[in-house]
């Protein structure tokens, strides 16, 4: 069996922490076209990606962006139309899914309904013809680390959603795959459970140091779990970067809009140099970071301003200020304002304030943008 | 036109195309496909080709013009189609009724109803026809004796009655599996949105089952127009294509005419098959996802009683018919001289009949596992593994039912009666007729297999399309080869389909008649043909005795198969009026 060579099993140190030395996954110009009734549909177009051993990568995008198809090509359930997939430098395109050292956690969990929890988890191990003692030991570890003690003899339909999810994860983990694949595994759980499972998955993944590819359309999930996020749209990669980078320096308006909330203010950049540009926004000249493709005098530029990087101060001297509060919404930890300005309506988030401190609708305010946290982008 | 083989001026440089990447099937799968293909070719394709070759030989062509100008022949065609449509309709309705009662009503005696619903497949339709005449005919014990009616049962009405009752179990079993496989969450969702029971039925259950309702209709249509025994016994003046073709072979020794009738019978059969296939491909529903949810809610209101009553009535009729068979086998002349006697059973079990019983049993025991496993494997290959060639194997496996038994029988006679030589070497010995190897036993077993495969195949295709592919992918993903996945995941989950396949294959083999009647030789005696000869010489007691023995054997086999294979797996909870324990 190729799923886990004994040498790798031995690489587990006593703490159960594995040195992430293997599991580098490279996608080279991976493309998938389907021929349907409406002609040829390109589901995935030339996706290139280099995933480092032990890295947790999220494929993020709206439904139909090709993220699941990409994952299924990696797993071997779909053949790529062109391009290559390499695992630790070796092409695995012609390897059938059962010989790829990967394990997938499905959206529907896909637990075997005719087997107990223990049988489900040990399925992969039994296929590897491990010794009985070996299986028992791996099972004990998996059941303990996934908090499934006492449920071993239940049937899947006797478990709660969260328990089913943990069984699915345990089943994938015990075979010690080089790559773990997740297909929107948390979309069927409620919010609290989802948060707990996020932390759980991340903890387990770090503990075992397994390269992971995680597909989701939930940006929160992607931000909180990933080492790197790959934002996809219409079959193409829009940006692949760390969550911080994606949030602060989105490569496109699509990314900026899809991740978090953003205001886009039209502006004409001047003096573009060294990744910065001068813009005039709401009557103020600001030096802001700019995307490399932005050119001086461009009529296609937008300044992206995150709502929490804007400060409002009420005008006290009876003047009109730069804007008027149209609406104020109290969320608990933060307050959202919609402010009408000369540059259009912008959204502003203020946190750490009491509801009594909220600005009243109709208040004239001055608007201050933190220039270093804004980002100048080109329209699509 | 001249073709230049090499003309450097015209030939474009070969386009550089990346080699098309298609993973080939694993060695094990390729062997499986090969085995299936060979069995299908010997059992169905070759005989069919033999029939077509005869039917389109030059001397056969004028027969078509005769057929389509003759009022008698056209009447036969119309009779055949009307019979098929009515039996399909009534049989499917009856099957649905029983499946609905079984899966959705909170009523007593469901186990007994299940057994009664399966009774018709365990005995040759021929027995039902005879019992019907005895009970509901002009001098019928019930129609005349009880109600004083003089009802003429011979003709279309009698045929529809007998065939619907004889064939509906196929529809029942298919629908039962499907209704059990429906995700209860769908019904709960509808219920939750305020749909009434009736609305759920009409808007949710029926559309979900629609593909499942078309399949049995097709099956019953084709079986009805292919049936030979009943038109011979109960048809009266109502002649259909199958009986006409049979008479052409056995009475007139006119294989050309027979082949022509066969081809005309083949057209509606195959048309039905392709129509249904097209329709199914558009409406595939996947319901078992591996993520269990919801509970089945049984109907507990007053509305269950009329439905239940209807099912009970149908059950009573079935019981009366089989009761007649059993009682008729131990009375001198049932309805006339009701003295108890065991001479008929003795003749069957210890006299001249024992040979037929043993032969039939042996052939059926050999054919059953082969047919059931072949059906399951073909279904699995078709649904999960083959892409471009799937339809071909699917079609091949279904030929045993898409092609009427009479046609297949005539095909066997045409294809396998002569020894086949290449030069002086015998390459394919005669399988049919007096000089056949093993007295024609080979041909009979092959015919049993081919005729039984489609039932198992269809049930398995139905079960597989309801099984979410992710469950099998999860297994593959954990390192299981396709064969291992089939053994450890797919097979246990579609075990009810295997059970159905085995049971039905055995029953079908034991009761098969239309194909076999052309293949028996003096050395190989088959129960069904013995029944035919006993009944046609007026020895009803012997005929009933054969049927009783045959029924007992089939029921015993059912019990044995159930014991070996085991029942289905509980995939979801069933909520009844009391609270679940956990």
Render pLDDT for B139-163 as a digit per residue (tens, 0 to 9).
677 777 677 777 777 888 889 999 9
pLDDT digits (tens, 9 = 90+) for A56-68: 999 999 988 999 9
Could you give the CA distance from residue B467 to residue B286 in angstroms, rounded to a whole number? 6
> Among partner residues A96, A110, A171, which is closest to B470 by beta-carbon distance?
A110
Mean pLDDT over A161-168 rounds to 89
Could you give the CA distance from residue B320 to residue A307 in angstroms, rounded to a whole number? 81
Q: Are residues A212 and A267 in the same domain?
A: no
- Supply the ipTM of this predicted assembly: 0.76
Domain span holding position A26: 6-101+177-248
- CB proximity B271 to A under 8 Å: no
CB atoms within 10 A of CB A235: 22
Could you give the CA distance from residue A197 to residue A346 in angstroms, rounded to a whole number? 35
Pick the range with the lowest mean pLDDT from A76-90, B244-258, B276-290.
Answer: B276-290
Domain-embedded: residue A139: no
Could you report how far apart the first and last alpha carbons of chain A are, in Å? 48
b/e sequence B395-407, b meaning 16+ C-beta within 10 Å = bbbbbbbbbbbbb
Return the residue of B nearest to A81 by Cα: B21
- CB proximity B477 to A under 8 Å: yes
- The yes-or-no verdict on residue B85 having pLDDT over 90 is yes
Q: What confidence category does residue B11 fall into, taking pLDDT thresholds of 50, 70 and 90?
A: very low
Residue ranges of domains in chain B, CATH in brackets: 27-288+299-573 (1.10.3720.10)
Single out the residue in A218, A248, A278 at which a domain terminates. Answer: A248
A304: which DSSP letter?
E
- The yes-or-no verdict on residue B581 having pLDDT over 70 is no
Structure tokens of B136? Answer: 């509901």
Of B109, B107, B104, B158, give the one whose Cα is nearest residue B130: B158
Instruction: With CB atoms and an 8 Å threshold, state whether B493 touches A114.
Output: yes
Domain-embedded: residue A243: yes
Contacts of A171 in chain B (CB under 8 A): 474, 478
Question: In Å, how far is A114's CA from the nearest CA of chain B?
Answer: 6
- The yes-or-no verdict on residue B124 having pLDDT over 50 is yes
CB atoms within 10 A of CB A135: 19
Domain-embedded: residue A73: yes
**Residue where the block lists tokens 């079984």:** B102
Of B399, B569, B549, give the one whose Cα is nearest residue B499: B569
Q: Are residues A233 and A359 in the same domain?
A: no
Question: Is the Cβ–Cβ distance between B114 and B122 less than 8 Å?
Answer: no
A360: which DSSP letter?
P
- The yes-or-no verdict on residue A287 having pLDDT over 80 is yes
Domain-embedded: residue A42: yes
Of B478 and B18, the one with more pLDDT: B478
**Domain containing residue A301: CATH number:** 2.40.50.140
pLDDT digits (tens, 9 = 90+) for B326-360: 888 888 877 777 788 888 888 888 888 888 889 88
Could you give the CA distance from residue B231 to residue B237 in angstroms, rounded to a whole number? 9
> Among partner residues A107, A112, A157, which is closest to B471 by beta-carbon distance?
A112
Domain-embedded: residue A97: yes
Return the residue of A nearest to B582 by Cα: A158
Mean pLDDT over B526-550 rounds to 84
3-state secondary structure B417-459: CCCEEECCEEEECCCCCCCCHHHHHHHHHHHHHHHHHHHHHHH
How many domains does chain A fold into? 2
- With a CB cutoff of 8 Å and minimum separation 6, the contacts of B218 are B88, B272, B273, B275, B276
Mean pLDDT for all residues in chain A: 87
Domain-embedded: residue A137: no
> Among partner residues B470, B473, B569, which is closest to A113 by beta-carbon distance?
B569
Contacts of B288 in chain A (CB under 8 A): 113
Three-state DSSP at A92 gives coil
pLDDT at A6: 40
Contacts of B569 in chain A (CB under 8 A): 113-114
Of B323, B347, B357, B344, give the one whose Cα is nearest residue B541: B344
Three-state DSSP at A174 gives coil
Single out the residue in A222, A248, A274 at which a domain terminates. Answer: A248
Could you give the CA distance from residue B480 to residue A68 in angstroms, rounded to a whole number? 22
Q: Are residues A229 and A348 in the same domain?
A: no
With left for phi above 0 and alpha for psi between -120 and 50, is residue A330 left, alpha or beta?
A: beta
pLDDT at B280: 60
Q: Are residues A226 and A373 in the same domain?
A: no
Question: In Å, how far is B289's CA from the nearest CA of chain A?
Answer: 7
pLDDT at A228: 95
Q: What confidence category does residue A9 fall into, taking pLDDT thresholds of 50, 70 and 90?
A: very low
Could you give the CA distance from residue B368 to residue B351 in angstroms, rounded to a whole number? 27
Q: What confidence category does residue B83 fall into, taking pLDDT thresholds of 50, 70 and 90?
A: very high
Return the residue of B nearest to A1 by Cα: B479
DSSP states of B231-289 as a string? HHHH-TT---HHHHHHHHHHTT--HHHHHHHHHHHHHHHHHHHHHHHHHHHH-----B-
Could you give the CA distance from residue B447 to residue B508 in angstroms, rounded to a whole number? 11
Q: Are residues A373 and A265 in the same domain?
A: yes
Of B202, B181, B210, give the one whose Cα is nearest residue B287: B181
Question: Is the Cβ–Cβ distance between A367 and A325 less than 8 Å?
Answer: no
Q: Are residues A297 and A205 in the same domain?
A: no
- The pTM assigned to this predicted structure is 0.72
Could you give the CA distance from residue B328 to residue B135 in angstroms, rounded to a whole number? 11
Pick the range with the lowest mean pLDDT from A109-113, B8-12, B31-35, B56-60.
Answer: B8-12
Pick the range with the lowest mean pLDDT from A348-357, B18-27, B262-271, B296-305.
Answer: B18-27
Question: In Å, how far is B481's CA from the nearest CA of chain A?
Answer: 6
- The yes-or-no verdict on residue A50 having pLDDT over 80 is yes
Mean pLDDT over A326-334 rounds to 90
Single out the residue in A248, A269, A296 at which a domain terminates. Answer: A248
Instruction: With CB atoms and an 8 Å threshold, state whether B474 touches A112.
Output: yes
Of B448 and A15, the one with more pLDDT: B448
Return the residue of B nearest to A80 by Cα: B21
> Among partner residues B292, B478, B573, which is closest to A103 by beta-carbon distance?
B478
Q: Are residues A275 and A359 in the same domain?
A: yes
- The yes-or-no verdict on residue B497 having pLDDT over 70 is yes
pLDDT at A147: 85
Strands A236-241 and A228-233: antiparallel
- The yes-or-no verdict on residue A83 having pLDDT over 80 is yes
Instruction: With CB atoms and an 8 Å threshold, state whether A124 touches B479.
Output: yes
Of B155 and B91, the one with more pLDDT: B91
pLDDT at A3: 42
Question: Is the Cβ–Cβ distance between A279 and A317 less than 8 Å?
Answer: no
Q: Are residues A192 and A328 in the same domain?
A: no
Could you give the CA distance from residue B284 to residue B265 in angstroms, rounded to a whole number? 29
Pick the range with the lowest mean pLDDT from B37-46, B88-97, B126-135, B361-370.
Answer: B126-135
Instruction: With CB atoms and an 8 Å threshold, state whether A96 touches B23.
Output: yes
Domain-embedded: residue A114: no
Return the residue of B nearest to A177 by Cα: B478
> Among partner residues A96, A107, A114, which is closest to B569 by beta-carbon distance?
A114
Question: In Å, how far is B492's CA from the nearest CA of chain A?
Answer: 7
Contacts of B463 in chain A (CB under 8 A): none
Q: What confidence category does residue A238 fall into, taking pLDDT thresholds of 50, 70 and 90?
A: very high
pLDDT at B235: 78
pLDDT digits (tens, 9 = 90+) for A258-271: 988 899 988 888 88
Pick the range with the lowest mean pLDDT from A3-17, A97-111, B227-241.
Answer: A3-17
**Residue where the block lists tokens 């049937």:** A155
Q: What confidence category does residue B543 fall into, taking pLDDT thresholds of 50, 70 and 90?
A: confident
Cα–Cα distances in angstroms (integers) from residue B76 to residues A173, B52, B244, B265, in the given order: 67, 21, 8, 10
- The yes-or-no verdict on residue B445 having pLDDT over 70 is yes
Instruction: With CB atoms and an 8 Å threshold, state whether A114 touches B471.
Output: no
- CB proximity B471 to A under 8 Å: yes
Cα–Cα distances in angstroms (integers) from residue A49 to residues A26, A42, A237, A256, in the given order: 6, 18, 9, 21
Q: What confidence category does residue B426 fall into, taking pLDDT thresholds of 50, 70 and 90?
A: low
Q: Are residues A352 and A275 in the same domain?
A: yes
Structure tokens of A93? Answer: 């395109």
Mean pLDDT for all residues in chain B: 79
Interface test with A, best of B19, B183, B289, B479 (most A CBs within 10 A): B479
Q: Are residues A243 and A294 in the same domain?
A: no
Contacts of A172 in chain B (CB under 8 A): 477-478
Could you report how far apart the first and last alpha carbons of chain B are, in Å? 82
Domain-embedded: residue A345: yes
Structure tokens of A174? Answer: 């015990």
- The yes-or-no verdict on residue A231 having pLDDT over 80 is yes
- The yes-or-no verdict on residue A4 having pLDDT over 50 is no
- The yes-or-no verdict on residue A283 having pLDDT over 60 is yes
CB-based burial of residue B48 (10 Å sphere; 0-12 exposed, 13-18 middle, 19+ buried)?
buried
Question: Is the Cβ–Cβ distance between B504 and B173 less than 8 Å?
Answer: yes
pLDDT at B427: 63
CB atoms within 10 A of CB A99: 16
Could you give the CA distance from residue B179 to residue B104 in angstroms, rounded to a whole number? 9
**Domain containing residue A181: CATH number:** 3.40.50.300
- With a CB cutoff of 8 Å and minimum separation 6, the contacts of A195 are none
Q: Are residues A181 and A46 in the same domain?
A: yes
DSSP states of B7-45 as a string? -TTTPPPPP--PPP--PPPPHHHHHHHHHHHHHHIIIII
What are the backbone dihedrals phi and psi of residue A33, each rounded to the nearest 5 degrees, phi first? -120, 135
Of B277 and B558, the one with more pLDDT: B558
Q: Are residues A195 and A74 in the same domain?
A: yes
């Amino acid at each position: 069996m190729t799923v886990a060579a004994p040498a790798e099993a031995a690489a587990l140190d006593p703490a159960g922490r594995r040195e992430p030395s293997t599991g580098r996954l490279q996608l080279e110009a991976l493309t998938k076209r389907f021929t349907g009734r409406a002609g040829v549909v390109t589901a995935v177009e030339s996706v290139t990606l280099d995933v480092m051993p032990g890295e947790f990568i999220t494929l993020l995008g709206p439904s139909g962006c090709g993220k699941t198809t990409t994952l299924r090509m990696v797993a071997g359930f779909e053949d790529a139309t062109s391009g290559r997939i390499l695992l630790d430098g070796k092409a695995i395109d012609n390897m059938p899914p059962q010989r790829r050292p990967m394990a997938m956690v499905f959206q529907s969990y896909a637990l075997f309904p005719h087997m107990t929890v223990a049988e489900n988890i040990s399925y992969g191990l039994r296929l590897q013809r491990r010794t009985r003692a070996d299986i028992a030991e791996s099972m004990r570890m998996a059941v303990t680390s996934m908090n499934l003690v006492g449920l071993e003899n239940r049937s899947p339909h006797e478990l709660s959603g969260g328990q089913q999810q943990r069984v699915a994860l345990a089943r994938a983990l015990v075979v010690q795959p080089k790559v773990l694949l997740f297909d929107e595994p948390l979309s069927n759980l409620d919010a609290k459970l989802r948060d707990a499972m996020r932390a759980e998955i991340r903890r387990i993944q770090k503990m075992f140091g397994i390269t992971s590819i995680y597909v989701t359309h939930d940006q929160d999930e992607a931000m909180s779990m990933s080492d790197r996020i790959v934002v996809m749209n219409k079959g193409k990669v829009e940006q692949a970067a760390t969550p911080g980078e994606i949030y602060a320096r989105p490569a496109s308006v699509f990314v900026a809009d899809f991740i978090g909330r953003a205001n886009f203010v039209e502006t004409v950049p001047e003096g573009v140099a060294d990744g910065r540009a001068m813009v005039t926004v709401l009557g103020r000249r600001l030096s802001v970071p700019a995307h490399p493709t932005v050119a001086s005098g461009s009529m296609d530029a937008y300044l992206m301003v995150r709502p929490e990087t804007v400060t409002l101060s009420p005008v006290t001297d009876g003047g009109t200020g730069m804007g008027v509060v149209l609406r104020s919404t109290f969320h608990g930890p933060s307050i959202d304002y919609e402010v009408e300005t000369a540059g259009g309506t912008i959204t502003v988030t203020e946190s750490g304030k009491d509801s009594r401190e909220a600005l009243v609708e109709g208040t004239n305010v001055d608007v201050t943008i933190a220039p270093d946290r804004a980002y100048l982008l080109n329209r699509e | 036109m001249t073709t230049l083989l090499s003309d450097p001026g015209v030939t474009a440089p070969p386009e550089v195309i990346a080699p098309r990447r298609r993973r080939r099937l694993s060695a094990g799968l390729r062997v499986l496909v090969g085995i299936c293909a060979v069995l299908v070719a010997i059992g169905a394709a070759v005989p069919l080709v033999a029939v077509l070759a005869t039917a389109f030989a030059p001397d056969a062509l004028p027969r078509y013009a005769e057929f389509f100008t003759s009022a008698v022949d056209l009447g036969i065609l119309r009779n055949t189609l009307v019979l098929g449509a009515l039996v399909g309709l009534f049989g499917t309705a009856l099957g649905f009724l029983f499946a609905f009662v079984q899966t959705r009503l909170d009523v007593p005696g469901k186990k007994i109803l299940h057994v009664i619903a399966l009774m018709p497949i365990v005995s040759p339709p021929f027995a039902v026809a005879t019992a019907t005449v005895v009970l509901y005919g002009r001098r019928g014990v019930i129609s005349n004796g009880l109600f004083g009616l003089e009802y003429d049962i011979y003709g279309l009405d009698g045929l529809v009655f007998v065939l619907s009752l004889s064939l509906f179990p196929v529809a029942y079993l298919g629908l039962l599996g499907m209704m059990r496989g429906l995700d209860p969450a769908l019904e709960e969702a509808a219920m939750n949105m305020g749909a009434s029971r009736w609305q759920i039925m009409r808007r949710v259950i029926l559309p979900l089952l629609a593909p499942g309702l078309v399949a049995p209709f097709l099956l019953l249509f084709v079986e009805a127009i292919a049936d030979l025994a009943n038109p011979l016994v109960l048809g009266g003046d109502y002649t259909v294509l199958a009986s006409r073709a049979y008479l052409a072979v056995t009475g007139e020794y006119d294989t050309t005419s027979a082949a022509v009738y066969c081809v005309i019978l083949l057209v509606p059969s195959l048309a039905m098959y392709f129509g249904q296939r097209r329709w199914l491909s558009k409406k595939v529903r996947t319901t078992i996802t591996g993520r269990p949810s919801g509970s089945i809610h049984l109907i507990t209101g007053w509305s269950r009683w009329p439905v239940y009553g209807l099912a009970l009535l149908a059950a009573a009729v079935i019981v009366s018919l089989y009761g007649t068979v059993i009682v008729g086998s131990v009375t001198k002349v049932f309805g006339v001289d009701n003295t108890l006697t065991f001479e008929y059973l003795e003749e069957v079990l210890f006299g001249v009949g024992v040979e037929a019983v043993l032969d039939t049993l042996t052939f059926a025991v050999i054919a059953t596992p082969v047919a059931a496993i072949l059906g399951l494997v073909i279904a699995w290959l078709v649904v999960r593994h083959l892409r471009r060639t799937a339809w071909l194997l699917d079609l091949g496996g279904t030929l045993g039912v898409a092609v009427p038994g009479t046609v297949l029988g005539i095909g066997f006679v045409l294809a396998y009666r002569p020894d086949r030589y290449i030069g002086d070497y015998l390459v394919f010995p005669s399988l049919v007729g007096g000089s056949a190897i093993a007295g024609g036993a080979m041909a009979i077993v092959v015919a049993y297999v081919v005729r039984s495969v489609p039932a198992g195949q269809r049930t398995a295709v139905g079960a597989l399309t309801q099984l979410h592919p992710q469950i099998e992918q999860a297994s593959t993903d954990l390192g299981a080869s396709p064969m291992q996945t089939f053994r450890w995941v797919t097979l246990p989950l579609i075990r009810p389909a295997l059970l159905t396949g085995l049971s039905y294959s055995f029953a079908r083999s034991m009761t098969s008649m239309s194909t076999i009647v052309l293949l028996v030789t003096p050395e190989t005696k088959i129960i069904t043909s013995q029944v035919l000869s006993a009944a046609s010489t007026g020895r009803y007691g012997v005929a009933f005795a054969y049927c009783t023995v045959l029924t007992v054997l089939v029921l015993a086999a059912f019990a044995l198969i159930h014991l070996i294979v085991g029942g289905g797996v509980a995939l979801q909870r069933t909520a009844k009026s009391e609270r679940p324990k956990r």
